[in-house]
Amino acid sequence: MAQAEDVQQDPVAERLRAWDPQAVAEVLEFRGERTLVVPRTHLRRAAELLKAAPELSFNFLSDISCIDRFPVEPRFELNYHLLSISRRAVIRLRVRAHGADPVVPSVTEVWPGANWHEREVFDLFGVRFEGHPNLQRILMPEDWEGYPLRKDYPVEGYR
Amino acid sequence: MATLTPTNVETVIGQAKTMVLNMGPQHPSTHGVLRVVLELDGETIVRAVPDIGYLHTGIEKSCEAKTYSQAITLTDRLDYLAPLSNNLCYCLAVEKLLNLEVPKRAQYIRVLLTELTRVASHLVWIGTHAIDLGAMSVFLYCFREREEAMKIFEFVSGQRMMTSYFRIGGLALEPPTGWMQRVDRFVKMMPARMDEYENLLTRNRIWLGRLKGIGAINAEDAIANGMSGPTLRSTGVDYDVRKYFPYSSYEEFEFNVPTRTEGDCYARYLLRVAEVKESLKIIRQAMDKIPPSGPIRTDAPGIVPPVRERMKTEMESLIYHFKIFTEGFSPPPGEVYQRIESPRGELGFFVASDGSPKPYRVKVRAPSFANLSALPKLCEGRMIADLIACIGTIDIVLGEVDR
């Protein structure tokens, strides 16, 4: 989908691959921004490593953004924007989830700030986060039906 | 909707139940429509659960149904105290997607106006926070000065608040003659006025009593919770996007990033006052840097609307104009994340393109959203009255929290 270039060498990806060769599936670059595509099974451990390893120290989670690629499968694409304050470095993690069972491990225990971001993604896209302490709707009313930011949800809503 | 059930607590006279109190969404000191469910033991907060979403208007979804240029008007409505910061961040994101370079003159004008926005936003903050804590006169003074900044915005863009003045590739209009004199008057007036507020507040005993040592957080917790802006800098971390990842030529400006180490409400107050002074410094530098004439938009046919005069003589310009306003332009497929330092912290726009004239996805990383999520950390174990100070000093704008 994206016209992003495939990058062979990336220090962060190398570090993750040294831990587990399967940890990084792809390294993409677009407009100077690096994206590491991580399999969803590896997300939780990769997050811990990215935060804890002193030469990486991605201690600040800016944001979690979800994109719905409907009807392409896997339709959900979660983008974690990480920042290392001590190293002044940024990286984006990307995890994909299938529409049939959109479950992704939660990173709330790694970055407590992920709590609300994950709730928002759950609220608007219906992606569930395994291990989240309080996975409830946050912006929409709790009795709302459907997930409004999905692409198969009309902009005007259902009337 | 957040709910809490009372639990048993030990008191002086034995066992008792805690009380659950609902605060908001119409409470005047919650700055908009924030609801906080409180579990109280006497007047002490045992648990606090912020409940947001009362102002959710689906801005991100609406952006997907608009062209890239049309979506700018929606970004004004996010952080309504700093509309120009939102405009800037969104435009920078789309420009990154398109690989567009903006003329220096437009970049400096952008810097000047966003710093003016920061001053105006901090003035509202000082004023409303003072009124929350019972100091009525500061509120009136701050709004008087803020109105001067608003008049400049109106003079330049035609609107006080919903400016939409920054456009993809530059600015909407050439700033009118005489705008610089107005900015100059404002910059000359402000230092004395800031001293006035400081005289009223900084060493005021009530002010100190209400803020000092209240709502303290340490650097580690603040970073872990994704806090940014003055709230993070009050803990000693000097993370400021303008210094860390300069955008719009900020690297050419000289300014300091004030930090404190206490991490409490009073530190956040002192920081915002110091930031206003730094912003005034940047504005002064920008006034010297802005050339009196020059292009305010890049020359990018098909993306940036052509100059009116050329449309009357050149057929291509007329065609481009027609195409831009009927179908828009199509950036290459890809995703970018652009961060800027808004008055409240790291504001981010994640814009994804699928190669069509409408953004495939626009995600706003609202600084208030992340800052607010740490509210329980700030106020649990403290008095209800302190909660007002905590909500105030993290400076939330519900427009961007709920989007």
pLDDT digits (tens, 9 = 90+) for A117-146: 999 999 999 999 998 998 888 898 888 888
Q: Model-level pTM?
A: 0.91
SS3 annotation, A89-145: EEEEEEEEECCCCCEEECCCCCCCCHHHHHHHHHHHHCCEEECCCCCCCCCCCCCCC
Residue B11 pLDDT > 50: yes
| pLDDT in the model for residue B28 | 66
Name the residue type at position B182: R
Report which of residues B59 and B9 the model is more confident about.
B59
Contact assignment for A63 to B237 by CB distance below 8 Å: no
**pLDDT at site A52:** 87
pLDDT band (50, 70, 90) for residue B262: confident
- Answer positive or negative: Cα dihedral of B389, B394, B396, B401: negative
Other C-beta atoms lying within 10 Å of the C-beta of residue A157: 10
Reported confidence tier of residue B122, pLDDT bands at 50, 70, 90: very high
Residues B365/B21, Cβ–Cβ less than 8 Å: no
Structure tokens at B353: 């393109």
Write down the pLDDT at residue A2.
44
Q: How far apart are CA A115 and CA A106, in angstroms?
A: 8
Distance CA B118, CA B341 (A): 10
> B23 - beta bridge partners?
B36
Pick from B357, B359, B347: which is nearest to B60 by CA?
Answer: B359
For CA atoms A146, A152, A153, A159, the dihedral sign is negative
Task: Give the gap in angstroms from C-alpha A138 to the nearest C-alpha of chain B.
Answer: 6
Distance CA A114, CA B226 (A): 8
B15, pLDDT greater than 80: no
How is residue A58 annotated by DSSP?
A: -
Instruction: Look at A11-15, A28-32, A94-98, B295-299 and tell me which has the smallest mean pLDDT.
Output: A11-15
Burial class for B29, CB neighbours closer than 10 Å (0-12, 13-18, 19+): middle
- Within a 13 Å sphere around the CA of A41, how many CA atoms are in the beta-carbon half? 4
Among B221, B224, B218, B254, which Cα is nearest to B236's? B218
Choose between A4 and B191: higher pLDDT. B191
Integer Cα distance of A83 and A50 in angstroms? 10
CA A149, A59, B215, B4 torsion-angle sign: positive
Among B361, B375, B377, B398, pick the best mutation site for testing chain A contact (most A Cβ within 10 A). B361
User: What's the number of CA atoms in the CB half-sphere (13 Å) around residue B320?
Assistant: 17
Residue type, B258: P
Nearest C-alpha neighbor of B373 from the set B38, B125, B50 = B50
Q: What is the dihedral of CA B133, B135, B141, B143, to 10 degrees?
A: 30
Q: What percent of chain B has pLDDT over 90?
A: 43
Q: What is the pLDDT of residue B161?
A: 87
Residue B134 has a pLDDT of 81
pLDDT band at B12 (very low <50, low <70, confident <90, very high): low
Residues of A within 8 A of B62 (CB-CB) are: 155
pLDDT at residue A8, as a whole number: 66
From the list B328, B362, B390, B365, the residue with the least C-alpha distance to B167 is B328
> A57 touching B, CB under 8 A?
no
Q: Which residue of A lies nearest to B53 if distances are taken between CA atoms?
A: A139
Average pLDDT rounded to a whole number, residues B342-361: 92
| Residues of chain A contacting B373 with CB distance shorter than 8 Å | 113, 115-116
| Least Cα separation, residue B62 to chain A (angstroms) | 7
**DSSP state for residue B383 in the 8-state scheme:** B
**Residues A45-58: pLDDT tens digits?**
889 888 888 888 89
Q: What is the mean pLDDT of residues B221-247?
A: 91
Give the whole-angstrom CA distance, residue B42 versus residue B33.
25
pLDDT bucket at A104, cuts 50 / 70 / 90:
very high
Domain A5-130: state its class: alpha beta
Q: Which long-range contacts (CB under 8 A, 24 or more apart) does B204-207 make?
A: B204/B135, B206/B133, B206/B134, B206/B135, B207/B130, B207/B133, B207/B135
Task: Name the β-bridge partners of B187.
Answer: none
**pLDDT over 70, % of chain A:** 94
- pLDDT at residue A16, as a whole number: 80
HEC profile of B24-39: CCCCHHHCCCCEEEEE
**Which among B4-18, B19-33, B372-386 has the top mean pLDDT?**
B372-386
Distances (CA, A) of B113 to A32, A54, B179, B180: 27, 39, 11, 11
Q: Kindly list the structural domains of chain B, giving each domain's residue range(s) and its CATH number in brackets, ordered by start.
A: 8-51 (no CATH), 59-298+338-402 (1.10.645.10)
> Residues A90-109: what's their mean pLDDT?
90
Decide which of B283 and B309 is more confident: B283
| Eight-class DSSP state of A41 | G
d(Cα B290, Cα B112) in Å, to the nearest integer? 9
- Residue with the larger pLDDT of the pair B6 and A21: A21
pLDDT at B310: 85
Query: What value does the mean pLDDT of chain B take?
Result: 88
Residue ranges of domains in chain A:
5-130
Are B121 and B347 in contact by the 8 Å Cβ rule? The answer is no
> A68 with A151: CB under 8 angstroms?
yes
Angle between helices A43-52 and A11-19 (to 10 degrees): 120
Inter-chain contact B332–A81, Cβ cutoff 8 Å?
no
Closest-CA distance, B343 to chain A, in angstroms, reads 16
**In contact, B207 and B369? CB cutoff 8 Å:** no
Most confident of the following: A111-120, B6-15, B204-213: A111-120
- Tell me the pLDDT tens digit for each residue of B306-343: 888 888 898 888 999 899 889 888 999 999 999 999 99
* Cβ neighbours of B345 in A, within 8 Å: none
Supply the pLDDT for residue B279: 93
Contacts of B335 in chain A (CB under 8 A): 2, 30, 33, 35, 67, 79
- Integer-rounded Cα Rg, in Å, for chain A is 16
**Whole-number average pLDDT of chain A:** 87
Average pLDDT over residues B170-182: 89
pLDDT at residue A1 greater than cutoff 50: no
Quick check: A81 and B350 CB within 8 A? yes
**Dihedral angle at the C-alpha atoms of A64, A65, A68, A74, nearest 10 degrees?**
-40
Pairs from B21-30 (Cβ < 8 Å, separation ≥ 24): B21/B384, B23/B387, B24/B51, B25/B51, B25/B54, B29/B132, B29/B388, B29/B391, B29/B392, B30/B391
Task: Tokens for B147, please give them.
Answer: 């109105």
CB contact under 8 A, B237 and A85: yes
Measured from the Cβ of residue A135, the count of other Cβ atoms closer than 10 Å reads 18
CB contacts, 8 Å: B336 with chain A: 30-31, 33
pLDDT at B32 over 80: no
